[in-house]
């Protein structure tokens, strides 16, 4: 019985052929977790890993650059915190506690501003 129909797996276009292997090691606990995810998804482990890795952008681990003025200000704040901590640990003084609270508020405002600048810089870099 002859037919003109081809048997077997269909041929992939050359740009879709996966001929490079990547190997990595996992421990037993990690393998069990991956197998659990594979079973939930109902696909092969290789397809699951490829799908999860290729759908997301890598996280940027570089810290945003800040100006020398901002860095100097942060160093001053750190120095003030160290000095106040030393005083607070040596005596119980209500006046010092009030200064501490004011400094914490100042630090919070400065850090909020720095975070805003950092977010703006990251948005500019993405564009």
Identify the CA nearest to 84 among candidates 95, 68, 74, 71: 95
Give per-residue pLDDT as tens, 10-54.
788 888 888 888 898 999 999 999 999 999 989 899 888 888 888
Q: Is 43 left (phi over 0), alpha (psi -120 to 50) or beta?
A: beta
Report the alpha-carbon distance of residue 28 to residue 33 in Å, rounded: 9
CA 30, 33, 38: angle at the middle one, nearest 5? 125
User: How remote is the C-alpha of 20 from its chain's centroid?
Assistant: 28
Report the alpha-carbon distance of residue 28 to residue 30 in Å, rounded: 5
Average predicted confidence (pLDDT) for the chain: 79
For residue 31, what pLDDT is reported?
94
């Amino acid at each position: 019985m002859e037919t003109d129909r081809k048997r077997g797996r269909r041929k992939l276009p050359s740009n879709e052929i996966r001929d490079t292997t990547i190997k990595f090691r996992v421990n037993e606990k990690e393998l069990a977790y991956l197998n659990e995810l594979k079973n939930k998804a109902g696909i092969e482990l290789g397809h699951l890993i490829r799908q999860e890795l290729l759908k997301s952008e890598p996280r940027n681990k570089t810290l945003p650059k800040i100006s020398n003025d901002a860095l100097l200000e942060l160093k001053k704040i750190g120095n003030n915190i160290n000095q106040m901590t030393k005083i607070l640990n040596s005596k119980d003084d209500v006046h010092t506690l009030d200064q501490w609270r004011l400094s914490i508020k100042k630090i919070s405002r400065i850090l909020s501003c720095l975070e805003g600048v950092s977010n703006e810089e990251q948005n500019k870099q993405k564009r």
